[in-house]
Amino acid sequence: MKHYAVPTLITKPKTLIFHVGTNDLHNKTPEDLINAMNDLGETIHRQNNDPVELIWSEIITRTDDPNLAEKVNVVNAELAKLCTDKGWGLIKHNNIKGSLLNNSGLHLNKHGTTTLAKNIRQFLSSH
């Protein structure tokens, strides 16, 4: 995750939104994923002289694999705790259900993408 995000700091953003994790569920435990998210957030705060608001976007539900779907639930619950502890923002996506995924059960369909964008806009307008 870091190798994608840290170069963005050159642009001196005021806010960073991270929508990450679903691809890592295959080869990482929920604990490993939360540790990586925490490490990324801490690295950004250490490497950036200007304050950056960090916002995490929950991992979207998936219906392609029940074991991975359960990992999504575990990671999202732990991510909520991490964000509370660190004072980071959290965009919730509990309104995105399986009907908003395409046939693969992994990627959002048109309505799902619209809902994701709406969730992000609503979060940003209320914070």
Residue 2 belongs to some domain of the structure = no
Any idea how long the chain is? Answer: 127
Domain containing residue 116: CATH number: 3.40.50.1110
Residue 7 belongs to some domain of the structure = no
Give the CA-trace dihedral at 72, 55, 39, 5, to 10 degrees: 100
Residue 64 belongs to some domain of the structure = yes
Residue 4 belongs to some domain of the structure = no
d(CA 17, CA 57): 7
Arithmetic mean of pLDDT over the chain: 92
Residue 27 belongs to some domain of the structure = yes
Contacts of 111 (CB under 8 A, 6+ apart): 99, 100
Give the pLDDT confidence score for residue 9 in this predicted structure.
Answer: 64
Q: Which of 6-15, 33-42, 49-58 has the highest mean pLDDT?
A: 33-42
Using CA atoms, how far residue 67 sits from 30, 62, 63, 70, 121, in Å, is 12, 10, 10, 5, 30
Residue 6 belongs to some domain of the structure = no
Number of domains in the chain: 1
pLDDT at residue 89 greater than cutoff 60 = yes
Residue 80 belongs to some domain of the structure = yes
Residue 1 belongs to some domain of the structure = no
pLDDT at residue 70 greater than cutoff 60 = yes
Full residue range of the structural domain in which residue 105 is found? 13-125
